[in-house]
Amino acid sequence: MKIGLKTGIGRGLFIAGLFAFFLTCAAKEASAQSQMAEAAPKRVAIHAGRLLDVRTGSYATNVFIVVEGDRVASVGPSAPPGVPVIDLSGQTVLPGLTDCHAHILGNLKDESPSASLRISSPMGALWGVHNLQIWLDHGFTSLRDAGESDLAYGQLALRDAIRQGLVRGPRIVSAGNFVSLTGGHGDADVLSPDQALARRPNIANSIDEVSDAVRHDMKYGADWIKLMATGGVMDPYSDYRFEELSEAQMARAVEVAHRGGKHVMAHAEGTEGIKAAVRAGVDSIEHGTMLDEEGATLMEQRGTWLVPTLYAFQRGAETGTSLGADPIMAEKDKAILSGQQPAFERALHHHLKIAYGTDGDPDYSSKEFGSLVHGGLSPLGAIQAATVNAADLLGRSHDTGTIESGKFADIVAVSGDPLQDITVMEHVAFVMKGGEVIKNETLAAK
């Protein structure tokens, strides 16, 4: 009896142990499968009522864009079984937009000359986080920061924080500080001589000092170098008509930057400064507001990009001094505006490569579409400026600019036909960046 009891107990314990072993194995297997499922890229399909091919201007209807993780997996006539579908069947779908001339730090509604001196670098970056959400909300999933006065390079910190997933915002490539002259556009010291600031590292009054300024930006991680080829509007002392950095200085900047694998943009409004910057080899001209025939021919021959920022000047003429701009600045804006349309017509006549840029408050970031079309660009051309052209300028064509398999799932949608009415681009209803839905107003409408 005792032997049988012990045997029975032993068998019971053995069976219980075996059962526990199998349960443990099953639990481990389930856990492993769960972890694999979590690690596997999430899949979702977007049902596009109309998908715009931004290269050709043609529409495909009832298209399914399958997104896996942060990339487009396929574009076709149906969605795989079991994959959740985002219904954009009533929308026009196109690639995420890119703003190629943005300034992201600080309160962009404060246009006073001393604005950057009345805000700390940390607070400027916090404003930057706020501003970036507005760009995203308008469908801009990428942007190029065109330089900041912040000595701590807050724009580069935000760029890196977005890449690391610490902050939500558009993908950023960025210039550092503005390479400028003493008293030039980009010299942040607007104080009286007896209250002057210490000289900043972006000030370069000789060719060798340009090398130092460029290397300083590159040392701290700038993707682009921003040169001030001419004076500008948004300061109280420079003259936009005249060249500031010399052609030799800009050529040195291009040499140093290109040797280090960086690109160069030039703020250039006045005629001679534009031509000097192009001859120096810059990659893009920003504004080009007084572009003449010789300058347009040079840009066409050399393949230099133009980022015209038309609406920024137009809005500046409307707001005047109401946002804190100095009266001198407001007068300059009114004066330069007369040259804008003839210059843009020359750019179109010479088939210059045009990319979208705003140079202002992100609340108005979509207004440039209408200004480009009003200036003579076709609606498709305006959309291309913010998609495929912008990706080309920024060297991101392999990842952005079109909706294709393997590229980032940066996708926006609007109601209506932007090729017939470009103003529909001012009301983006859906935004996805890298597979993450940022905005979907189509749900509220149903």
pLDDT tens profile 185-194:
999 999 999 9
Ramachandran assignment for 76, one of left (phi > 0), alpha (psi -120 to 50 degrees), beta (any other)? beta
Q: What is the pTM of this model?
A: 0.90
Inside any domain, residue 383: no
Q: 320-376 pLDDT, tens per residue?
A: 999 999 999 999 999 999 999 999 999 999 999 999 999 999 999 999 999 999 999
pLDDT at residue 23 in the model: 45
Instruction: Check whether residue 124 and residue 243 sit in a common domain.
Output: yes
Q: What are the tokens at 224? A: 């682009």
pLDDT at residue 121 in the model: 96
Higher-pLDDT residue of 12 and 96 is: 96
Instruction: Return d(Cα 110, Cα 114) in angstroms, integer.
Output: 9
Instruction: Check whether residue 119 and residue 236 sit in a common domain.
Output: yes
CATH number, domain with residue 89: 2.30.40.10
Inside any domain, residue 331: yes
Taking the C-alpha atoms of 201, 207, 208 and 211 in order, what is their torsion angle to the nearest 10 degrees?
A: 60
Say if residue 4's pLDDT is above 60: no
Q: Edge-to-edge strand order for the sheet containing 171-179?
A: 97-102, 140-145, 171-179, 224-228, 263-268, 284-287, 305-307
Instruction: Return d(Cα 180, Cα 206) in angstroms, integer.
Output: 10
Confidence of residue 445 (pLDDT cuts 50, 70, 90): low
Domain end among 365, 396, 419: 365
Give residue for tokens 């010299």. Answer: 187
Q: 275-316 pLDDT, tens per residue?
A: 999 999 999 999 999 999 999 999 999 999 999 999 999 999
Instruction: Check whether residue 249 and residue 291 sit in a common domain.
Output: yes
Candidates 342, 331, 372, 320; CA nearest to 100 is 372
Cβ(89)–Cβ(47) under 8 Å?
Answer: yes
Q: 213-246 pLDDT, tens per residue?
A: 999 999 999 999 999 999 999 999 999 999 999 9
Instruction: Return d(Cα 125, Cα 172) in angstroms, integer.
Output: 14
| Mean pLDDT, the chain, integer | 92
Q: Which domain holds residue 129?
A: 97-365
pLDDT at residue 33 in the model: 47
Inside any domain, residue 237: yes
Rounded mean pLDDT of 254-265? 98
Rounded mean pLDDT of 393-421? 98
Instruction: Check whether residue 163 and residue 179 sit in a common domain.
Output: yes
Which one-letter amino acid corresponds to residue 162?
I
Cβ(136)–Cβ(168) under 8 Å?
Answer: yes
Q: What are the tokens at 47? A: 């049902």
User: What's the structural domain count of the chain?
Assistant: 2
CATH number, domain with residue 154: 3.20.20.140
pLDDT at residue 443 in the model: 74
Contacts of 77 (CB under 8 A, 6+ apart): 62, 63, 64
Say if residue 48's pLDDT is above 90: yes
Which one-letter amino acid corresponds to residue 158?
L
Inside any domain, residue 9: no
Q: Roughly how many angstroms between the first and final C-alpha of the chain, as a whole number?
A: 76
Instruction: Check whether residue 155 and residue 47 sit in a common domain.
Output: no
Inside any domain, residue 24: no
Domain end among 316, 338, 365: 365
Candidates 277, 286, 118, 266; CA nearest to 188 is 118
Confidence of residue 442 (pLDDT cuts 50, 70, 90): confident
Q: 163-207 pLDDT, tens per residue?
A: 999 999 999 999 999 999 999 999 999 999 999 999 999 999 999
Inside any domain, residue 426: yes
Instruction: Check whether residue 87 and residue 226 sit in a common domain.
Output: no
Instruction: Check whether residue 228 and residue 87 sit in a common domain.
Output: no
Q: What are the tokens at 15? A: 């069976």
Q: 76-109 pLDDT, tens per residue?
A: 999 999 999 999 999 999 999 999 999 999 999 9
Instruction: Check whether residue 108 and residue 90 sit in a common domain.
Output: no
Instruction: Check whether residue 349 and residue 427 sit in a common domain.
Output: no
pLDDT at residue 28 in the model: 52
Residue 43 φ/ψ, nearest 5 degrees: -115, 140
Candidates 144, 133, 131; CA nearest to 171 is 144
Instruction: Check whether residue 135 and residue 84 sit in a common domain.
Output: no
Inside any domain, residue 371: no
Instruction: Check whether residue 68 and residue 111 sit in a common domain.
Output: no
Inside any domain, residue 445: no
Instruction: Check whether residue 63 and residue 114 sit in a common domain.
Output: no
Confidence of residue 36 (pLDDT cuts 50, 70, 90): very low
